Structure 1
Amino acid sequence: MIARRTVWIMAIGCGLSVANLYYSQPLLERIGAEFGASAARMGIVATAAQVGYAAGMLLLAPLGDLLERRGLIVATMLATALALAVVAVSPGFAWLATAHLLLGAATVTPQIIVPFAATIAAPHERGKVVGTVMSGLLIGILLARTASGFLAVYVGWRGVFWLASGLMVALAAVMARALPRSSPTLAGTSYGALMRSVFVLARDVPTLRTSALFGGLAFGSFSVFWTVLAFHLATPPFGYGSDVAGLFGLVGAAGAAAAPLTGAVADRRGPRLTIGLGLVVILAAYAVLAAFGWTLIGLVAGVLLLDLGVQGTHISNQARIYGLMPEARSRLTTVYMVAFFVGGSLGSAAGAAVWPRFGWPGACGVGAGFALAAIGVFIATRREGPTFIRAAETANPSS
């Protein structure tokens, strides 16, 4: 059994690492005012971070099956610290967008930690352990907005990224001492063979493909909301700044407490049930946001439902895919998380595009559309048979 202390260190590492992708979201209006960039252009910044993350997931995360994971985690944290410093010195919009692309590519640490946790956990506790580590990741995503929104008032948006850079250096030192060493499952395999096996997995494992669709569409829905929230709160009847936008991360973090519970339910009842429930909750969230999103109470209720639904879907998807092939967990993560963040980048882009013309109703419609598409996939695959895996050639690139 994995030690509880190790689980919590991994959860904290995930949260602080992934937070780097989201510090900018409540600051988009503030940064745009400094650079003279419109809301639509600033949406490109959020999209660039997610596109970069998807690229990093595709090119770097599979290395978790090839290299010793503790050393890989430390190396990616240090690369993230450097990318954050590049963001902090941005002289203009183009530099900022490019720096966020690089930041996204470097910030793959959480997707090395999560399959590492699944590997060292006992089978009967895997869902709960993944849920606990994921709760750290999800809280990091949500509280990043709160922290950056408030800190920017006192140290400016550049100060937020300088502080984040220093934090990542310190965290790398902690991880180097606290995490156990791992034994790579594919030591000696070439990088080219490793990458080819990623595409073979995507081709040959239907359960992985459907989970990737569920996750990508759910996160696309989530990203629509968080991309437009700062702009929505800046308009009448609200007129709020980045600090209030960041506060909504606290609201969403309350739902992250349900992450270990969702994982435990997935262990007992099967993850497909909790995936379906999560997708329905996401759709319900947008019904609330569309009807009552002009009030703070309506926004709070919608955020709670949205985060609960996305978290439940995401944790259940990961519990589902990690039960497939223990020797390929980093590559399974790659396929799933690339789809997840491609969906997120599409959601950010769609939210930024629809906001100038259709405002809040349009954004709610697009967010609901992502959820409806995911529910459609869920219904269409309700009779999905046993997972078909050509184990030798799919999991082992040298076979």
Structure 2
Amino acid sequence: MPYTPETPLKQTFTPQGERPTYTLGRYQTLLFSMTCAMAVANVYFAQPLLESMAYSLSVPASSIGIVITATQAGYALGLLFIVPLGDLLNRKQLILTQMLLSAVALCTVGLARDWGVLLAGMVLVGLMAVLVQVLVAYAATLASPERRGQTVGSVTSGVVLGILLARFVSGAMADLAGWRSVYFASAALMMGMTLMLALTLPAAATPTLQGSYWALLRSALWLFVSERTLRVRGTFALLIFAAFSVLWTSMVLPLSEPELALSHTQIGLFGLAGVAGALAAARAGRLADRGLGNRTTGVALAVLTLSWLPSAFVNSSLLAMVVGVVLLDFAVQAVHVTNQSLMLAARPDAPSRLIGAYMCFYSVGSGLGAVAATYTYAHSGWIAVCLLGAAISAAALLYWLFLQLTSR
């Protein structure tokens, strides 16, 4: 057998055979989705709270943005060094440990009276937020092959809900009880959900690997080279989340300008419109289960490209902006669910490593989109931002068309 970085890893299975005896029901799927929403929301809570944090800790406003950087840095480290452990360790124990440490991190942030303590807490918050990827991989493993895409879609919908609702919820809570209350409340919820999952998750481990941690990391890196599905779907992820970030990073700017002068709460309500689109796309996994994942990707990318047209008319119609937000979130979620469904079907033996590697593309796309959006708006205005988002979306659609032509 030729050597690859995966060679030192040995696949093992439960005593009952290669298929786990436990299957994921609707109630458990709902719990997974809720946990994902809570975990990813922890990453985004800080965005509307930066001004309050700066004032509370006497930090210059020019420096408080480091809070976001620290959280994202922790998240990136978690993708590389924690998520792959889902293929090596007992996933139930890994999930519960992450949730407990997440509660500790949230309490650390809420209690922080020092700038360094706050940053350390935010790094740990981001590090533990990769619980999301471990949960998605675990859910895909527990689901039957014919329902894997549907399950991934249902669980992933919680991720999008968490991202879209986090800013609105944190802003509203901060207005009522201060920014620290957001983190204390989230810590309490994480503890409660930890107890629920401890009582309901199956005790037996799903198929795991035997080998060293470093061999596991090498095998995760090797997936970028060996798995074409990961590279293709990762490219789609980079582009769609760059477009997603372009909209959600910059939309607050025209909405808060004197011409519209919307409050933070009113701007946050646009997240509810995005929720509608995200929930509608949750069924994309069912299409992937029926062998229609590739076609679903093409249709969704076309919708993503067209979604920027109504968004461009925000100054003359808020309803048009709502339509654009719904279409964009629908398209991004549909492609995201399809991406994960097709990857996990291609390599069901490496779910955690695949999801961790895939989310690296997500992180790069989100970061590039945010930087490009703010720069474009500052120099050329909202119409230019919409053209940028449409160009990124069209690039994803052209890449999909190129794959169709070259695969024949």
* TM bracket, shorter-chain basis: 0.7 to 0.9
Residue by residue, what CA displacement relative to the aligned partner does 1:2-32 show, whole Å, maximum 9, x if unpaired? 3221111111111111111222234456656
Deviation per CA, 1:278-314, whole angstroms, max 9, x where unpaired? 2222222222212335532122111101110110110
* Runs of 5+ unmatched residues, structure 1: 387-399
Match of 2:297 in 1: 275
Q: Deviations over 1:323-366 (max 9, x none)?
A: 01111111111111111122112222333333433343343333
Deviation at 1:86, TM superposition (A): 3.6
Sort the Cα spacing of 1:369 and 1:37 in 2 relative to 1 into closer, same or farther, 3 A: farther
1:348-359 pair list within 5 angstroms: 348-359=370-381
- Note if 1:62 corresponds to 2:84: yes
Amino acid at match of 2:219: S
The alpha-carbon distance between structure 1 residues 293 and 201, as it changes in their structure 2 partners (threshold 3 A), is: farther
Name the counterpart of 1:379. 401
Letter in 2 for 1:236: P
- Matches for 1:237-316 after TM superposition, within 5 Å: 237-292=259-314, 295-316=317-338
CA spacing shift, 1:32–1:8, aligned 2, 3 Å: same
Name which of structure 1's ranges 120-129 and 25-34 shifts more when overlaid on structure 2. 25-34
Call closer, same or farther: CA 1:273–1:293 in 2, change over 3 Å: farther
Whole-Å separation in 2 of the counterparts to 1:204 and 1:362 = 38
Q: Which runs of no fewer than 5 residues in structure 2 stay unpaired?
A: 1-22
Is the aligned partner of 1:83 residue 2:105? Answer: yes
- The aligned counterpart of 1:5 is 27
Is the partner of 1:326 in helix, strand or coil?
Answer: coil
How far 1:152 moved relative to its partner? 1.8
Q: Which residue of 2 aligns with 1:135?
A: 157
Cα distance in 2 between the residues matched to 1:3 and 1:122:
11
Counterpart secondary structure, 2:61:
coil
| Aligned-pair CA distance for 1:233 | 2.6
Larger CA deviation: 199-208 vs 271-280: 271-280
Partner of 1:123: 145
Over the aligned positions, Cα root-mean-square deviation in angstroms equals 2.5
Between 173-182 and 376-385, report the one with greater CA deviation. 376-385
Distance 1:210 1:128, change over 3 A: same
Check if 1:319 corresponds to 2:341.
yes
Q: Distance in 1 between matches of 2:202 and 2:358?
A: 25
Report the AA paired with residue 246 of structure 1: G
Q: 2:135 corresponds to which residue?
A: 113
Range with greater deviation from structure 2 (306-315 or 243-252)? 243-252
Q: Does 1:332 align with 2:367?
A: no
SS of the residue 2:45 aligns to: coil
> TM-score of the superposition, structure 2-length normalised?
0.86
In structure 2, do the counterparts of structure 1 residues 32 and 310 end up closer, same or farther at CA, with 3 Å as the change threshold? farther
1:345 counterpart residue number: 367
Partner of 1:50: 72
State whether residues 67 and 184 of structure 1, in contact with CA within 8 Å, keep that contact through their aligned partners in structure 2.
Answer: no
Greater relative contact order (Cα 8 A, min sep 6): structure 1 or 2? 1
Q: 1:249 to 1:96 in 2, by over 3 A?
A: farther
